[in-house]
């Protein structure tokens, strides 16, 4: 078995991502309740007791809601950078010192037979970072919660075999929607979330012949629709001569486990 993964949940109501090799099983974020997290794992027939650890991207509640509960229940180590630890400690409750680990930005950590590289993103959190996962020459990139995709990020994630990539909102829906202007400005800003079109433009620069699968992630319930996201991103890619299937993620159910071959 090479890399296998599932997007357990994705969106403003909660985010969680699972990835495994034959030897290691990792969770990134636990943004739903402990009960919901258990149900998501049951949906892909994975026992959370077998996890090697939980990696944290940033301290927003839709990424850490069930973190403390899950870690205490199954005695799991948590990995986050120092600023994220400080920002989230009051929210996740007491964590034993032997479960608390640092994963610094722009660092590579080895978990058994899987290397995980962290990279910083522009988002309104203490020190937000996301990850690429490497095993036997295969690469999976998790890229959400960012206001824009810098050239540095593109270089970091280019040529992956699979992407979980943010397509948060349709700009027209957001501008015309019910959110107050200060929230709209935050989402549209450089520390907010990227739009369907910006997702397509970034993907056009980074995918190559290795890329097998793309999941559009962190879709807004209020300012986007799955069909619209796929159509908008696909249109940008087709304009650049790129044809590839775009797959959905969900707020409340996991995607089937996908094996990167």
pLDDT in tens, 64-87: 999 999 999 999 999 999 999 999
In this prediction, residue 10 carries a pLDDT of 98
Residue 162 above 90 pLDDT? yes
Strand ranges inside the chain, DSSP E: 4-9, 16-20, 25-28, 53-55, 78-80, 100-102, 108-111, 114-120, 129-135, 138-143, 162-166, 213-217, 246-248, 258-259
Percent of the chain surpassing pLDDT 90: 98
Strand ranges inside 157-260, DSSP E: 162-166, 213-217, 246-248, 258-259
pLDDT in tens, 189-230: 999 999 999 999 999 999 999 999 999 999 999 999 999 999
Computed over every residue of the chain, the mean pLDDT equals 97
Q: Determine the Cα–Cα distance for residues 49 and 163; give it in Å rounded to an integer.
A: 26
Average pLDDT over residues 5-13: 96
Residue 250 above 70 pLDDT? yes
In this prediction, residue 2 carries a pLDDT of 86
Q: Determine the Cα–Cα distance for residues 123 and 87; give it in Å rounded to an integer.
A: 14
Q: Which residues have CB under 8 Å from 112's CB, separation 6+?
A: 21, 23, 24, 52
Q: What does residue 17 show for φ and ψ, rounded to 5 degrees?
A: -135, 130
Q: What does residue 113 show for φ and ψ, rounded to 5 degrees?
A: -100, 20
In this prediction, residue 73 carries a pLDDT of 98
CA 253 to chain CA centroid, Å, is: 15
Cα dist from 12 to 75, 78, 168, 208, whole Å: 27, 22, 9, 29
In this prediction, residue 135 carries a pLDDT of 97
Residue 104 above 80 pLDDT? yes
Owner of token pair 């810098």: 150
Q: Determine the Cα–Cα distance for residues 85 and 68; give it in Å rounded to an integer.
A: 12
Q: Which residues have CB under 8 Å from 46's CB, separation 6+?
A: 18, 20, 25
* Strand pairing category for 138-143 and 162-166: parallel
Average pLDDT over residues 46-73: 98
User: Counting every residue, how long is the chain?
Assistant: 261
Owner of token pair 């969900």: 250
Owner of token pair 């960012």: 146
The token pair that represents 64 in the structure block: 């850490």
Residue 90 above 90 pLDDT? yes
Residue 1 above 80 pLDDT? no
Where is average pLDDT lowest: 1-5, 147-151, 209-213?
1-5
Average pLDDT over residues 3-18: 97
Which helix (H) or strand (E) is 66 found in, with range? none
Confidence of residue 53 (pLDDT cuts 50, 70, 90): very high
């Amino acid at each position: 078995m090479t890399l296998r993964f599932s997007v357990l949940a994705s969106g403003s109501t909660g985010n969680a991502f699972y990835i495994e090799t034959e030897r290691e099983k990792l969770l990134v974020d636990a943004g739903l309740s402990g009960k919901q997290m258990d149900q998501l794992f049951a949906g892909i027939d994975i026992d959370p007791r077998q996890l090697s650890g939980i990696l944290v991207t940033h301290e927003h509640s839709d990424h850490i809601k069930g973190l403390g509960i899950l870690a205490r229940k199954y005695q799991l180590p948590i990995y986050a950078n120092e600023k994220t630890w400080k920002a989230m400690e009051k929210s996740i409750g007491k964590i034993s010192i032997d479960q608390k680990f640092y994963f610094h930005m722009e660092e590579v950590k080895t978990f058994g037979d899987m290397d995980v590289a962290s990279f910083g993103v522009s988002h309104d959190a203490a020190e937000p970072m996301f990850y690429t996962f490497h095993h036997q020459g295969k690469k999976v990139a998790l890229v959400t919660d960012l206001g824009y995709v810098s050239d540095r990020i593109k270089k970091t994630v280019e040529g992956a075999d699979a992407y979980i990539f943010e397509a948060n909102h349709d700009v027209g829906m957001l501008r015309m929607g019910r959110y107050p202007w200060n929230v709209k400005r935050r989402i549209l800003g450089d520390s907010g979330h990227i739009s369907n079109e910006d997702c397509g433009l970034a993907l056009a620069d980074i995918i190559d012949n290795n890329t097998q699968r793309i999941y559009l992630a962190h879709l807004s319930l209020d300012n986007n629709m799955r069909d619209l996201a796929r159509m908008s991103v696909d249109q940008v890619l087709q304009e650049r001569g790129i044809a590839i299937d775009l797959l959905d993620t969900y707020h409340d159910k996991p995607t089937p486990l996908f094996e990167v071959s």
